[in-house]
Amino acid sequence: MKKRYAKFIIFALVLLASAALVYTEPVPFKTHKVTVPLRFDYYYTYEMVVEALEKLHKAYPQLTELEIVGKSEEGRAIYCMTVNNPKTGKELDKPGIWVDGNIHGNEIQAGEVCLYLLDYLLGNYGVNKKITELVDKKCFYVVPVINTDGRYHFMTDGNNMHDNRSLRRPHDDDEDGLLDEDFPDDLDGDGNICMMRKKDPHGHWKTDPEDPRLMIRVKPGEKGEWNRIGAEGIDNDGDGRINEDAQGYVDPNRNWGYDWMPHYVQHGAGDYPFSGVGLKALGKYILARTNITMGWTFHNFGGLFVRGPSRKAWGSYAPEDEAVFDYLGDQGERIIPGYKHIISWKDMSETYGDEDGWMFMSIGAYCFTGELFMRSQESFKSIKEQKAAKPVGEGGMDFFSSNDSFERERLKFNDHLTQGELFVSWKPYKHPTYGDIEIGGWAKMSTRMPHPFMLKDMCHRNAAAIIFSAKQTPEVKLEVFGIKKVGQNLYRLRTRLKNSKAIPSMSNHARKVKLYPKDMLTVSGKGVKVKAGGRLNDRYRDQVTYKEYRPGIQFLFVPGFGKVEHQFLFSAQPGVSVTIKYNSRHAGKIRKTIKLK
């Protein structure tokens, strides 16, 4: 009996210990330690992003440089991490890939994609052959958080999923002489700004009979049950209105310097281009990195690769540039099933003063805006049910719309896959203006962003899309051939510049509007006098388009998956060394020296 009793006691203690482990309160995300390699099963605060960058730099000092690009309106630092191997060349001598995120403060998973890319590139250097070769050949500039104030306030304050997009520039929205004095209020202190509703038989809403947490619109002639009275908040300034003067709205993706228009044309435009303190510093920083060939700017919602033209009035891009965008976009759709490669004005909306338009039109870098989260992933359907569902465009869901059946499915996803973390149940509250109301609805960490259990897959796939585009930045090789003595101390020399990648050394647009000098090919040497030089059109027939002046210098570009050949005639003595140089902003520098026989 004693042995049995002792065994029972031990068994009971084990059960209690297990129960204690099961029911331990979850650790708040702010107390997570930042370690390298980084974790991607929760969202980092602004302070944690900074700490992550500092630790990555400390772990990989030979490959990284960490700089403060500028500061925000509230003085928070905007960091850029450069990934480059100085042993394989200077950063400006390699094709540059620009990546940024979190330009809108609430679009926090865009910052996580940037951190994941950095962690993946650095952690796999010397381990994965393809990543090692990529980092040796290219240079990455990564800014995880542009809108540092927005991220800070979104994570720290009570918010809904749509708040804190703007730059924090105070503005008198209600024209009462005060600035930003009536923000939404987290009345129940749960960190979310949810919806307020009040019982009202004359309201336009009634309880959804299929799920009482939802409300559906009443039909004409039906009796109402609820009146929706807006986001959580009270009348802070006593003017009879609620939540009417939060932060002023300056959209940091409408404040860039190409095709900017004032606020009466473009909502959120700001007072003038680059009026945002941090954006101005960012623009200067980008312009100083003349090697930037490819750009990615990440937002949070839609499952899209968006590229210009931003407005119909721009016209279409040149076919050569369209081909590059299509090649990269089509591959992106394969890397992330469900994403769509679209044209901004044609497939979404026209915009003025956006970043990807500025990148392509002002600096000649091919650029995509990545809209990350697909709400269709919040699915609670079997494969059979998914196949039977209506497709997008035929009554199904697109990336902006909503309907009652989809909201019910989201709640099932919330109940069974996140155990209720995405929806705040309705609870009573005594409001000073409206009296007895209820507060509830979707939490701020929902709707526009994936639950953390889905985060790593999203980050990895988008990082893979970036990596593919980085691999397609120009890789030009210089071949010197056809060296032949054709007369008394007169030589013929031919060169071939061959690009094995999809992106040309210079976009058609950059050439057309002369954004910067073309690539340059030169032939020189002590005692070498170039008599003629030009484009070799047919080497078999010796057909050359010779340049009239200074033939030793040729201006050119190398197309994607293409080549250009040149021919030079020059006088020199046997034994003299001839130097051939190729210099390109986006394809690097090559130098070869040959000795004449």
DSSP of 253-273: TS-SSSS---TTTSTT--SST
d(CA 294, CA 282): 16
150-160 as b/e: b if 16+ CB within 10 A: bbbbbbeebbb
On whether residue 435 sits in a domain, the answer given is no
The candidate with the shortest Cα–Cα distance to 486, out of 541, 531, 552, is 531
User: For residue range 526-578, what is the model confidence (pLDDT) as tens digits?
Assistant: 999 999 999 999 999 999 999 999 999 999 999 999 999 999 999 999 999 99
Q: DSSP readout, 266-328?
A: STT--SSTT-SHHHHHHHHHHHH-TTEEEEEEEEEESSEEEES-SSGGG-PPPHHHHHHHHHH
On whether residue 538 sits in a domain, the answer given is yes
Which residues lie below 8 Å from residue 190, measured CB to CB, with a gap of 6+?
A: 158, 424
Residue 511 has what pLDDT? Answer: 98
Window from 130-139, 174-183, 281-290, 547-556 with minimum mean pLDDT: 174-183
Is the pLDDT at 102 greater than 80? The verdict is: yes
Is the pLDDT at 16 greater than 60? The verdict is: no
User: For residue range 192-228, what is the model confidence (pLDDT) as tens digits?
Assistant: 999 999 999 999 999 999 999 999 999 999 999 999 9
Dihedral over alpha carbons 7, 10, 14, 16 (to 10 degrees): 110
Percentage of the residues of the chain whose pLDDT score is greater than 70: 93
Is the pLDDT at 15 greater than 50? The verdict is: no
Burial class (CB in 10 A: 0-12, 13-18, 19+), 543: exposed
d(CA 95, CA 475): 8
Q: Quick check: helix, strand or coil at residue 356?
A: helix
Question: pLDDT: is 399 or 64 the higher one?
Answer: 64
Residue 390 has what pLDDT? Answer: 67
Say if residue 462 is in the same domain as residue 481: no
Say if residue 97 is in the same domain as residue 141: yes
Mean pLDDT, residues 140-159: 97
Say if residue 459 is in the same domain as residue 537: no
Mean pLDDT, residues 386-398: 56
Say if residue 148 is in the same domain as residue 266: yes
On whether residue 383 sits in a domain, the answer given is no
Please name the residue ranges forming H helices in 60-165: 109-123, 129-137, 148-156
Residue 29 has what pLDDT? Answer: 45
Q: Among 417, 439, 466, which residue terminates a domain? A: 466
Tell me the β-bridge partners of 438.
197, 428
Residue with tokens 């609870």: 427
On whether residue 326 sits in a domain, the answer given is yes
Single-letter amino acid code for the residue at 510: A
Say if residue 518 is in the same domain as residue 549: yes
Cβ atoms 556, 521 nearer than 8 A: yes
Q: DSSP readout, 501-555?
A: SSS-SS-HHHHHHT-SPPEEEEEE-TT-EEEEEEEEEETTTTEEEE-SS-TTEEE
Say if residue 461 is in the same domain as residue 503: no
Instruction: Write out the H or E segment, with its range, that includes residue 217.
Output: strand 215-217
Say if residue 63 is in the same domain as residue 91: yes
Say if residue 458 is in the same domain as residue 549: no
Say if residue 457 is in the same domain as residue 544: no
Cβ atoms 510, 367 nearer than 8 A: no
Report cis status (omega within 30 of 0) of the bond before 37. Answer: yes
On whether residue 471 sits in a domain, the answer given is no
Is the pLDDT at 111 greater than 90? The verdict is: yes
Residue 177 has what pLDDT? Answer: 87
Q: Band of the pLDDT at 395, cuts 50, 70, 90? A: very low
Is the pLDDT at 501 greater than 90? The verdict is: yes
Q: Band of the pLDDT at 272, cuts 50, 70, 90? A: very high
Number of domains in the chain: 2
Q: Band of the pLDDT at 6, cuts 50, 70, 90? A: very low
d(CA 140, CA 591): 24
Within 10 Å of residue 565's Cβ, how many Cβ atoms? 18
Q: Among 420, 435, 466, which residue terminates a domain? A: 466
Q: Among 439, 466, 493, which residue terminates a domain? A: 466
What CATH number corresponds to the domain at position 557?
A: 2.60.40.10
Tell me the β-bridge partners of 491.
485, 570
Mean predicted lDDT score pLDDT of the chain: 92
d(CA 336, CA 462): 7
Is the pLDDT at 392 greater than 60? The verdict is: no
Residue 31 has what pLDDT? Answer: 55
On whether residue 37 sits in a domain, the answer given is yes
What CATH number corresponds to the domain at position 48?
A: 3.40.630.10
Q: Band of the pLDDT at 174, cuts 50, 70, 90? A: confident
Question: pLDDT: is 185 or 11 the higher one?
Answer: 185
Tell me the β-bridge partners of 71.
77
Q: Which domain holds residue 557?
A: 476-595
Instruction: Write out the H or E segment, with its range, that includes residue 387.
Output: helix 383-388
d(CA 545, CA 14): 87
Say if residue 455 is in the same domain as residue 504: no
Mean pLDDT, residues 105-130: 98
Residue 402 has what pLDDT? Answer: 57
Is the pLDDT at 23 greater than 60? The verdict is: no
Is the pLDDT at 20 greater than 60? The verdict is: no
Is the pLDDT at 4 greater than 90? The verdict is: no
User: For residue range 303-343, what is the model confidence (pLDDT) as tens digits?
Assistant: 999 999 999 999 999 999 999 999 999 999 999 999 999 99
On whether residue 431 sits in a domain, the answer given is no
On whether residue 358 sits in a domain, the answer given is yes
Which of 376-382's residues contact partners 24+ apart within 8 Å by CB, and which partners? Answer: 376/303, 376/338, 377/338, 377/450, 377/454, 378/409, 378/410, 378/413, 378/414, 379/409, 379/413, 380/409, 380/412, 380/413, 380/416, 380/417, 381/409
Within 10 Å of residue 223's Cβ, how many Cβ atoms? 9
Question: pLDDT: is 482 or 564 the higher one?
Answer: 564
Say if residue 482 is in the same domain as residue 567: yes
DSSP state of 172: -
Q: Band of the pLDDT at 7, cuts 50, 70, 90? A: very low
Q: Band of the pLDDT at 391, cuts 50, 70, 90? A: low
Instruction: Write out the H or E segment, with its range, that includes residue 25.
Output: none
Cβ atoms 71, 77 nearer than 8 A: yes
Window from 175-184, 276-285, 401-410, 441-450 with minimum mean pLDDT: 401-410
Say if residue 261 is in the same domain as residue 145: yes
Residue 464 has what pLDDT? Answer: 98
Which residues lie below 8 Å from residue 386, measured CB to CB, with a gap of 6+?
A: 379
Mean pLDDT, residues 237-259: 92
Phi, psi at 517, each rounded to 5° = -60, 150
Residue 247 has what pLDDT? Answer: 86
* Verdict on whether the full-model pTM lies above 0.85: yes
Residue 469 has what pLDDT? Answer: 98
∠ CA 54-59-64, nearest 5°, is 70
Is the pLDDT at 19 greater than 50? The verdict is: no
